A and B are shown apart, each in its own frame.
Chain A
């Protein structure tokens, strides 16, 4: 089954403790992206990747890092999480014009 998977689905952590949210797709898509969803703000793009080793900033990249060492994986790294990064995070992969989303990761930073 074609899908985008994210792990973990839920995470509660404390300020400053480094964390990684994994994202994997099995559709051989070149393009992948990370978004955060906050009430009243819709989805905002954090980072995107056009292919292996090619990444670029979205609208809200501050406080986040990404890497794309393999085509199928696109992890999101928070080196020093802060409470304002509490949000619902979505990974997506795309074969334009269509974009497919993962189930989401709800992150709470205390």
Chain B
């Protein structure tokens, strides 16, 4: 079945770039998403990319999609302490409303 995998932890220094990686299995995925969850809060949609795109940039966020390897990444430029959170990758299968989420990557930004 469908599966989305992420590494569990990432630690970076303030001002550096962060790269959070995700792999997925469903080749029919239409949209791929990145969500941010701060402590005690719900999930906030950060950005998403349509499966026919290779890259999407939105201010400090850059999403790269490698469809051949089924690999998605989120790059956060100039990482700040406020970026410390759990980041979830998710896919939505084509023609459905079924979303598959990864386990989340906990990003810790060191001052």
Chain A positions near chain B (C-beta within 8 angstroms):
4, 31, 33, 35, 40-45, 48, 50, 56, 58-59, 90, 92, 94, 96-104
Contact = CB atoms under 8 A, between A and B. Distances in A.
Given A97-B31, A97-B48, A103 B41 contact: yes
22 contacts: A33-B99, A40-B8, A41-B103, A42-B4, A42-B88, A42-B101, A43-B88, A43-B101, A44-B101, A45-B98, A45-B99, A48-B98, A58-B98, A90-B42, A94-B97, A96-B31, A96-B97, A97-B30, A97-B33, A99-B45, A99-B99, A101-B44
Interface in B79-111: 88, 90, 92, 97-104
B55 interface: no
B10 interface: no
Given A42-B103, A50-B97, A97-B92, 12 more contacts: A40-B103, A42-B104, A48-B97, A56-B97, A97-B30, A97-B31, A97-B48, A100-B45, A101-B43, A101-B44, A102-B42, A104-B41
